[in-house]
Amino acid sequence: MPAISASAPGKIILVGEHAVVYGRPAIAIPVEQVRAKAIVSANPKQAPGTVFIQAPNIGIETTLAELPVEDPLAVAVNSVFQTLNISRPPALTLRVSATIPIAAGLGSGTAISIAIIRALSAFLGKPFSDERVSTLAYEIEKIHHGTPSGIDNTVITYRQPIYFQRISEDHIEIKKISLPQAFTIIIADTGIPSPTSSTVGDVRQAWLVQPEHYESIFDKIGTIVKEALCEIQSGQVEKLGKLMTANHQLLVDLGVSSPELDRLVRASLEAGAWGAKLSGGGRGGNIIALASEEQASWITQGLKSAGATHAITTLISESLHTNL
Ligand code: PMV
């Protein structure tokens, strides 16, 4: 049986993170320059039921039976077996790799889950639909993040810019965004890992203590997201930049920024970006800056001088994939 591989992109949240967990909308965009990849191959020399897992990026080389059941890789693999009612899989090797930085707000964990689900279900002769892939990845996120909005699994599964809102536990609204004008985003890493579960958990604690205060911040973020959608759809990217910077300030108010993130946001604005903000869970990870294509390399230099450990420039354009 030939080896089967699948990959999944990283993602950024353009506007709306954290408030999206509380039912407000957010806009997310796939980032195809960074990817997670899973390869599944038959392992006929091993006894049936032996699943060998190699993930060199995170130093894992073991069997499924030896991994803790709550390990994210084990959860992804077992979710496929359970969905297909497979109690004794054929002997196989799963190799996982990723160029997406871990715990950096770029969706690495979700992309890895999605690549595994796609490759394994295809290897077993039952490739899952996008809808099933996204649903399984959301269930996995719940185990690890507690209260995810579902935006990460949605944008990474469908691989196109989306406007996302969770109306209720089982009702989400997803709109594919058309982009009349391509725009350039610089993604710059503080180099500080920050698990999303801890910032999401901290925001929840704060919201439980002062619900009205936090609800009013979420409302302001929701308004920014709606305005951002209008600016994107009418090609007004400079106005979109101002909204991103305003969103960053509200994330500061939520307590999820950090001196390093603030420094990178300031550096990109000083170098001429139209707007900038942290992206994802915050406290560490990445900022995103919106700029003209001509200014991207100048802004990248400014970001590196201000301490960014890594920066990538990505051109956001009309649909990369069209089956939403
Ligand atoms: O996974 P991250 O760090 O990109 O964060 C996802 C966005 C949050 O709104 C912070 C969490 C969520 O589930 O929506």
Which domains are assigned to the chain?
Answer: 4-176 (3.30.230.10), 183-320 (3.30.70.890)
Pocket flag, ligand 1, residue 151 (CB < 6 Å): yes
**Residue 296's pLDDT is what?**
95
Q: Which residues pair with 60 in a beta bridge?
A: 55
Q: Which residues pair with 53 in a beta bridge?
A: 62, 94
Asked if residue 228 lies in contact with residue 172, where contact means CB atoms within 8 angstroms, the answer is no
**Residue 324's pLDDT is what?**
38
Distance CA 50, CA 130 (A): 28
Pocket flag, ligand 1, residue 24 (CB < 6 Å): no
Residues in the chain with pLDDT values less than 70: 318-324
- 217 C-alpha vs ligand 1 centroid, how far in Å? 17
Pairing verdict, β 92-98 and 51-55: parallel
Please choose, from the candidates 193, 187, 196, the residue with its C-alpha nearest in 3D space to the C-alpha of residue 151: 196
Pocket flag, ligand 1, residue 273 (CB < 6 Å): no
Return the axis-axis angle of helices 72-83 and 108-123, rounded to nearest 10°. 40
Strands (E), 190-285: 275-279
**Which residue out of 71, 152, 189, 262 is catalytically annotated?**
152
**How many CB atoms are located within 10 Å of the residue 312 CB?**
16
**Residue 319's pLDDT is what?**
53
Q: What is the best residue among 27, 112, 145, 149 to mutate for testing ligand 1's pocket, by most ligand atoms within 8 Å of CB? A: 149
Please choose, from the candidates 19, 10, 20, 3, the residue with its C-alpha nearest in 3D space to the C-alpha of residue 174: 20
Known catalytic membership, residue 219 = no
Look up the pTM and report it: 0.94
Pocket flag, ligand 1, residue 25 (CB < 6 Å): no
Pocket flag, ligand 1, residue 152 (CB < 6 Å): yes
The DSSP output letter for 129 is: P
Pocket flag, ligand 1, residue 260 (CB < 6 Å): no
Residues 6+ apart with CB under 8 A from 322: 160, 176
Strands (E), 182-323: 183-189, 275-279, 286-291, 310-316
183-198 confidence digits (pLDDT tens)? 999 999 999 998 888 9
- 150 C-alpha vs ligand 1 centroid, how far in Å? 8
- 110 C-alpha vs ligand 1 centroid, how far in Å? 10
- 281 C-alpha vs ligand 1 centroid, how far in Å? 5
Distance CA 117, CA 270 (A): 43
Minimum CA distance residue for ligand 1 atom 13? 148
Asked if residue 117 lies in contact with residue 76, where contact means CB atoms within 8 angstroms, the answer is yes
Pairing verdict, β 183-189 and 286-291: antiparallel
